[in-house]
Structure 1
Amino acid sequence: MSASRPLFRRPDLVRATAPASLFAVALALASPVLADPVKFTFATTNGAKDFSSQAVMRWQKALKDQSKGEIQMNFVPGGALGGDKQLLQQLANNEIQMHVAGPVVVHHLARGYQCLEAEYVFTDEAHGKRVWNGAVGSELNAELESKYNISIVAIGSRGARHVTSNNPIRVPGDMNGVKMRVTNPLRAQVFKAYGALPGPGSISELYGALRQGVFDAQENPISTIWGNKFYEVQQYVNLTGHVWSYNIISANKKFLDSMTPAQRAVFDATLKDAVAWLDRTVHDEEAALLKKMAATGKVTVVKPDVPKFQEIAAPIVAQFAAEKCRPGIMAAIQAAR
């Protein structure tokens, strides 16, 4: 016959184990619940020397420092993870969490807003920022969030786009027969009207294409021309100023929503500081970069007859807007002047 089991636990065992159990519970209640660390990938086709990349690297450090290591960014510049179209797809899938580029998002994902990067639609940089940060920008962001889970979190300065080439461009006729890399269908129409032979090409492959003569010319902001060293393979920087461009900083919405309120506060505050630095740097350094490029002895800066370029572009942009862009967008752009 087996020994009978005791009906009650020994008092000394109860006394010995109870304090330990109570201590463990108290310790758990007293210990703060630590948030999961945030680790994310930020990718861009912009080169490491581009002002936008410099701003991201400053932000990377500030995020880590001010979050005490809780928020950490893996920054991948230079198109190492693909071109902008591929990066936007990765962003939508949350394979990368952040992206910065010119307004390529409107050409790939929201074509009704392509007029935000049309030739000569903005009178100056401030005019464009009023549109991007106003009702039109809010409507665009709502569309991107609902369709692609992408949210625009900041609009930074990028400067005006200018043409680099192997021959001086002073009037539209100087573009006759020039093989020109362009970034979207509207730009192709405009530069074809100038006499150029436009074609597409990835910015990550553009340096080699210019060096090998696949293209004779391209167009980009001064910071991009400098950051990607296009001045090494082009002889002229022609200040056409045909588009005011902006650094569109986007994030995957699922990634944004994964942060705690405290993490998001650090994220937003440090991003705001980084964009302010970017804006100041673009404004302060463009003239200095032109001087640096000229000082290499490899390029000459040319000031074209801009009104002649505007005159040819205007009817093309108006027709494109009527056929391709969201109704009312051109009126909204005009109203923001």
Structure 2
Amino acid sequence: MNRFTRAAVAAAVVCALHGAAQAQTILRWGDVVGGSHPQVQMIDRVAAEVKAKTGGRVEIQAFAGGQIGGSRDMIEAVANGSQQLVTEGAANFGAWIPSISVVEAPYIWRDPQHLIKALNGPLLAQYNEQLVKARGMRILGAVYYGTRHVTTSTKAVNTLADMKGLKLRVPENDVFKAMAESWGARPTPMNFNELYLALKQGVVDGQENPLPTIKSGKFHEVQKYLVLSGHIMTPRLVVVNDATWQKVAAADRKAVEDVLKAQMAWADSQIIAQEKTLVDEFKAAGVTVLQPDVAEWRKATLAAVPPKFEAKWGKGTYESIANMK
């Protein structure tokens, strides 16, 4: 091999090594929630730490506030691989795992700790296996989104009877629609990123979401009443396109998983902390806070919703999860 050939080979090796060093996996992570919400901050925190720990080999790009679509759009995009990551409510994956919507059922969780413990253990692993097989999506973890309450624009809701006929925005899934119907309300499924304007313009009479989401979405600016119904504790799932995930080097996947676990715990703590202070903050902003008889709401909801979905969830599933230690 003459010196010119050796030089050419050496240059080719250097270029190849440089290309390998620069090889990068880009994960586009979407969320319908925006603003300063802790689960949006979580994405940014994960992205920064993962970039550092992988030497830039894995780059996470955040698209919050519904920038790249609504809930259904982004779940479909993750399934087909055009988007790689999404944070979404568990019930919204019910199209592929019918039984999973039980974890977002009304009054199933005792407290946030009950939810967090149950959904980062064997129960989640069971749903994960089904989702990978059904649609090629993998659950990386579950986060506590908060305890959901009703807000209304003009109508004070002091008893459950006051919900009759109220046009209530709900997420686009059957459990929430059935719940609203059990209250006598008129459920109106709608993309989250359309909600603020719909409330402002009176397209819907009210909505239901956790307190931190009400704050980050600025819904308290266009809602007069906050009704502390506490009807659902929502788990949200961080889900990745599995084909893309399997192409990431094992060491880098481990780095992402470790960072995500720590930052999900951080986000959970932020949500729980905000829930302790936001009622007073909303009162100070002029929102009228109402405390209904939750037992009345619970009775009406549980008489209608679990029986309606028992075939989908499995007989006794609601009760077994509710009674988990």
What residue is the counterpart of 2:221 in the other structure? 232
Long gaps (5+) in structure 1: 1-13
Instruction: After superposing the two structures, state which structure 1 stretch, 234-243 or 281-290, moved more.
Output: 281-290
Cα 1:234–1:263 change in 2 (3 A) is: same
Q: Which residue identity is paired with 2:59?
A: Q
Q: Which residue identity is paired with 1:330?
A: Y
Match of 1:270 among 235, 250, 259: 259
Cα 1:311–1:62 change in 2 (3 A) is: same
What residue is the counterpart of 2:105 in the other structure? 118
Q: Which residue identity is paired with 1:278?
A: A
Match of 1:254 among 243, 258, 262: 243
**For residues 197-222 of structure 1, what are the alpha-carbon distances to aligned partners after superposition, in whole Å with 9 as ceiling and x for unaligned?**
22211111111111111111111111
Match of 1:182 among 170, 194, 198: 170
Of the two, which has the highest radius of gyration?
1
- Where in structure 2 are the equivalents of 1:61-76 lying within 5 Å? 61-76=48-63
Contact 1:182 1:198 in 2 (8 A): yes
SS at match of 2:106: coil
SS at match of 2:29: strand
Whole-angstrom CA distance in 1 between matches of 2:16 and 2:211:
57
Deviation at 1:272, TM superposition (A): 1.7
Whole-angstrom CA distance in 2 between matches of 1:229 and 1:201:
17
- Where in structure 2 are the equivalents of 1:204-223 lying within 5 Å? 204-223=193-212
What residue is the counterpart of 1:158 in the other structure? 145
**For residues 222-276 of structure 1, what are the alpha-carbon distances to aligned partners after superposition, in whole Å with 9 as ceiling and x for unaligned?**
1111111111111111111101112211111112111112212221222122112
- Where in structure 2 are the equivalents of 1:72-111 lying within 5 Å? 72-111=59-98
Contact 1:141 1:152 in 2 (8 A): yes
Cα 1:189–1:104 change in 2 (3 A) is: closer
Deviation at 1:191, TM superposition (A): 2.2
Q: Which residue identity is paired with 1:169?
A: V
Whole-angstrom CA distance in 1 between matches of 2:13 and 2:190:
63
Instruction: After superposing the two structures, state which structure 1 stretch, 27-36 or 326-335, moved more.
Output: 27-36
Deviation at 1:290, TM superposition (A): 2.7
Whole-angstrom CA distance in 2 between matches of 1:233 and 1:210:
6
Contact 1:136 1:329 in 2 (8 A): no
Whole-angstrom CA distance in 1 between matches of 2:259 and 2:285:
36
Q: Give TM-score scaled by structure 1 length.
A: 0.87
Q: Which residue identity is paired with 2:27?
A: F
**For residues 166-198 of structure 1, what are the alpha-carbon distances to aligned partners after superposition, in whole Å with 9 as ceiling and x for unaligned?**
223232112122111122323222322322122
Q: Which residue identity is paired with 2:184?
A: G
Contact 1:48 1:227 in 2 (8 A): yes
Contact 1:193 1:312 in 2 (8 A): yes
Cα 1:328–1:138 change in 2 (3 A) is: farther
Identity %: 27
Instruction: After superposing the two structures, state which structure 1 stretch, 209-218 or 192-201, moved more.
Output: 192-201
Whole-angstrom CA distance in 2 between matches of 1:255 and 1:207:
34
Whole-angstrom CA distance in 2 between matches of 1:35 and 1:232:
47
**For residues 61-80 of structure 1, what are the alpha-carbon distances to aligned partners after superposition, in whole Å with 9 as ceiling and x for unaligned?**
22223333222122111112
Match of 1:245 among 234, 249, 263: 234
Whole-angstrom CA distance in 2 between matches of 1:57 and 1:177:
41
What residue is the counterpart of 1:7 in the other structure? none
SS at match of 1:133: coil
Cα 1:316–1:263 change in 2 (3 A) is: same
Contact 1:106 1:112 in 2 (8 A): no
Instruction: After superposing the two structures, state which structure 1 stretch, 117-126 or 20-29, moved more.
Output: 20-29
Whole-angstrom CA distance in 1 between matches of 2:63 and 2:237:
16
Deviation at 1:29, TM superposition (A): 11
Q: Which residue identity is paired with 1:218?
A: Q
- Where in structure 2 are the equivalents of 1:164-175 lying within 5 Å? 164-166=151-153, 167-175=155-163
**For residues 287-326 of structure 1, what are the alpha-carbon distances to aligned partners after superposition, in whole Å with 9 as ceiling and x for unaligned?**
23333322222x1222221111111111212312323323
Q: Does 1:199 align with 2:188?
A: yes
Match of 1:47 among 12, 34, 37: 34
Cα 1:36–1:86 change in 2 (3 A) is: same
Off by >4 Å, runs of 4+ in structure 1: 14-33
Contact 1:46 1:101 in 2 (8 A): no
What residue is the counterpart of 2:296 in the other structure? 308
Cα 1:233–1:64 change in 2 (3 A) is: same
Whole-angstrom CA distance in 2 between matches of 1:115 and 1:26:
55
Contact 2:103 2:235 in 1 (8 A): no
Instruction: After superposing the two structures, state which structure 1 stretch, 31-40 or 232-241, moved more.
Output: 31-40
Cα 1:33–1:223 change in 2 (3 A) is: same
Whole-angstrom CA distance in 2 between matches of 1:305 and 1:220:
18
Count of residues paired in the alignment: 323
Contact 1:188 1:198 in 2 (8 A): yes
